[in-house]
Amino acid sequence: MKDIVCQFIDCDQYGGVRTFGNGHINDTYAVADAQGLDRWVLQRINHHVFPRVEVLQRNVAIVADTIRRKLTEAGDPDVERKYLNFLPLKSNPECNYYFDGENYWRLCTFIPDSMSLSELSCESARYAGEAFGQFEEMLSDIPEGVLGDTIVDFHSMSFRLQQLREGISADPVGRAAKVKDLVAELEKRSEDMLLQDRLYAEGKLPKRTIHCDTKVDNVLFDKSGRVLCVVDWDTVMPGFILSDVGDFIRTGVNLAPEDEVDLSKIGVNMEIYKAFVEGYLSTAGKFLNETERSLIAYGGRLMTYMQTVRFLADYINGDTYFKVHHPEHNLQRSLAQFRYLQCLEEKAAEMEALLV
């Protein structure tokens, strides 16, 4: 570990490492200085999930430079705690990651006196909305084509439907017949769920720089409860804002977990939704066009539908992507997500009325 860290900092600054955080993708460590104070965060990038490491690290460098510049121009007195500063290699200042022959590593500065929240309340939902809206707003002038896709087709609805249809056709483990009714329900909605692709082709829905993982625990707060910054930039890439608002609605506004067995417990928490939308529009409203604003509630239905499709495709293909705790887990997830989609459809008019 010391040898890896010393690719980025002088070895006499190194004071040891410890495991840090609760992320599920990358391995993360806090790195102390010679006095024992946490000064940096070391991560081993999961290159199986993120095979395009060079693209990923170029993206985060552009995002960091943009946010730092915007905060500095605005005269923010706390710039250094409000973005992720990835250090360059000592041997190559143009590169912000290290390959040791097997794994990819990166080091960023530790943000002191910060905390994340895992519990979602109306207050934290509003803060999360503000934070993600501000994050998108600061990055809204990055021209299309500058950033690359860290995961190709990650939120492409047409690609996810293709995966489902190919899985049904191949039926590798003999599960397709069991889910034919659910597949029929999804196919009935497929054209509606390709709306953003059509609007993009018509020039009505722009691609933005988006976060793609809008959970409340990806927002850092200071000790007084004020938002510092959005973290976990691995999926920051070009896309539609429907992905960001939609994934928060899918995960944060649902009254039940995404794999709830008792479908009667699933529903829409309108208070959380309202708080998130109010927070989001207070910052993102500065750059959204009317089409984007009008489709925020639709984004929730879109991302819930997409996740239903992804879980079901994985079930049909024999559980090759998502980790499962029992053989029917992906089917359980699919049914729960589809029930939540139905709940969102039932609440659509009420949710859209809050966007006017």
Confidence grade of residue 76 (pLDDT, cut at 50, 70, 90)? very high
Percentage of residues of the chain with pLDDT beyond 90 = 90
pLDDT for 24 beyond 70: no
Which amino acid does the sequence have at 192? D
> Which pLDDT tens digit goes with each residue over 322-333?
889 999 999 999
> Which pLDDT tens digit goes with each residue over 179-194?
999 999 999 999 999 9
pLDDT for 215 beyond 90: no
- 3-state SS, 222-284, equals ECCCCEEEECCCCCCEEECHHHHHHHHHHHHCECCCCCCCCHHHCCECHHHHHHHHHHHHHHH
Residue 298 has what pLDDT? 98
Token pair for residue 245? Answer: 């608002």
Give the residue from 311, 306, 316, 354 showing the smallest Cα distance to 335.
311
The dihedrals phi and psi of 105, each to the nearest 5 degrees, come to: -130, 150
Q: How much is the average pLDDT of 276-295?
A: 96
Domains along the chain with CATH numbers: 2-112 (3.30.200.20), 122-353 (3.90.1200.10)
Confidence grade of residue 204 (pLDDT, cut at 50, 70, 90)? very high
This prediction has a pTM of 0.91
Residue 323 has what pLDDT? 87
Residue 344: CA atoms inside 13 Å, Cβ hemisphere, count?
25
